[in-house]
Chain A
Amino acid sequence: MISAIIVMAVIGLVLGSVLGWAELFYRVAGDPLADKINDILPQTQCGQCGFPGCRPYAEAMAKGEADINRCPPGGEPGIQRLADLLGVEAKPFGEGVAPKPKSVALIDENTCIGCTLCIQACPVDAIVGASKQLHVIVADLCTGCELCLAPCPVDCIHMEVVHETVNNWKWRYPLIPIHQQREAA
């Protein structure tokens, strides 16, 4: 009996010290999970999730502090990917949060006063222009985050839905009549 207890105690002592050493020796810096999550996020930096940008939201999710259904630009597929990565069940968007069709911002040339406020608001440097000069949004770089709408003092920016053209047209899922889809769109 005593011998059994001694054996257990020695094993505990040895393994405990090995683990204590290993914990410090193999400590990993940073959070690789947050990087993986950030790769899934659409990088619109729109802040609709309640975090100042995609990276902070990714870090919050990695820590388990934020839900996966707070990124409308990522859409349902985005939620699905996050759910797959994090091993949780996908859930629908909450009340009042819904993905919108992909849009880009457009500056009304006649109204823009060149105040540069939108340039400062744009999180992805998609607006070019100088003070007191007309500003232009580079449509290819615009993520459609709408952050430039609010700061504009003259409301000269509006969102334009990106329409389907021969360029960005995609083959439809088969078995669904293509013409019907087109009419619906």
Chain B
Amino acid sequence: MASETRDIIINGLWKQNPGVVQILGMCPTLAVSTSLVNGLSLGLATAVVMALSNTAAALVSRLVPPAVRIPIYILIIATLVTMVDLLMHAYLLQLYLVLGIYIPLIVVNCIVLARVEAYASKHGAFYSFLDGLMMGLGLSLVLAVLGGMREIFGKGLLLSGIDLALGPAANAYVIHVLPGYQGLLLSILPPGAFIGLGLLIAARNRIEQVRALPRRSASLQPQQAT
């Protein structure tokens, strides 16, 4: 019981992280992660959709005939995403304008359907909910870190745009990491997203490599590097 829960959490956040391991849902990951606030907002919106769609799919999986499995899952996801879209439009307009098309695009984010199809259709409602949430949070984590990185290098700021989510008063939270910094514009522009994501993936692989090192050397002779 507990180990199942732990596995789901570890999978979502690290082992099977959608952003840097499965490399799914690249479109929003690259387009929206211009700042921590943007990245995190879209990530959380996705997480909400994933948690709910996973739960819904798990609940109805027995009612669904196999031939229309995918259409019905898409229908569930689309309904949830449109609801999130309408709610954000109503109550978080500024953020909604910044994230723009990427909110409705959550429908076609493969990670959402992938989890519904691969996990929720075969597991119970609670675990499916947890899986969706954790996968979504894993994506949010990547989006947040990537957004933060790009923001720091690009503008020398952190948490810029937080007023979009929390109102003008929150402007006080904006952190000036490097005062007088020129700003590496490349980082904010699309190439920066690719380079940043590449670095994140590389960093994660490196960590895994280092962690696996003592185990490997014990059982396997290291291959000659060529």
Which of chain B's residues have a CB closer than 8 A to the CB of A12?
A: 75
A20 and B65 form a contact (CB under 8 A): yes
**B66 an interface residue at 8 Å Cβ cutoff?**
yes
**B222 an interface residue at 8 Å Cβ cutoff?**
no
Complex: how many Å from CA A20 to CA B68? 7
A23 and B66 form a contact (CB under 8 A): yes
A92 and B220 form a contact (CB under 8 A): yes
**A15 an interface residue at 8 Å Cβ cutoff?**
yes
* Chain B residues within 8 Å of chain A by Cβ, number: 10
Which of chain B's residues have a CB closer than 8 A to the CB of A19?
A: 67-68, 71
**A176 an interface residue at 8 Å Cβ cutoff?**
yes
0/1 interface trace, chain B 13-29, chain A, CB 8 Å (1 if under): 00000000000000000
Residues 88-145 (chain B) with a chain A CB within 8 angstroms: none
| Chain B nearest Cβ from A109, distance in angstroms | 40
Which of chain B's residues have a CB closer than 8 A to the CB of A15?
A: 68, 71
A16 and B219 form a contact (CB under 8 A): no
The DSSP consensus for interface residues of chain B is: helix
Q: How large is the interface on A (under 10, 10 to 19, 20 to 34, 35 or more residues)?
A: 10 to 19
Given A23-B66, A176-B224; A92-B71 close (CB under 8 Å)? no
**A5 an interface residue at 8 Å Cβ cutoff?**
no
Residues 126-185 (chain A) with a chain B CB within 8 angstroms: 175-176
0/1 interface trace, chain A 1-43, chain B, CB 8 Å (1 if under): 0000000000010011001101100000000000000000000
- In this complex, what residue of B is CB-closest to A175? B226
B67 and A22 form a contact (CB under 8 A): yes
Which of chain B's residues have a CB closer than 8 A to the CB of A16?
A: 68, 71
State the 6 A-B residue pairs at the shortest beta-carbon distance, nearest first: A23-B67, A19-B67, A19-B68, A16-B68, A20-B67, A175-B226
Known pairs A20-B65, A176-B224. 6 more at Cβ < 8 A?
A: A19-B67, A19-B68, A22-B67, A23-B67, A92-B220, A175-B226
CB within 8 Å of B: which residues of A?
Answer: 12, 15-16, 19-20, 22-23, 92, 175-176
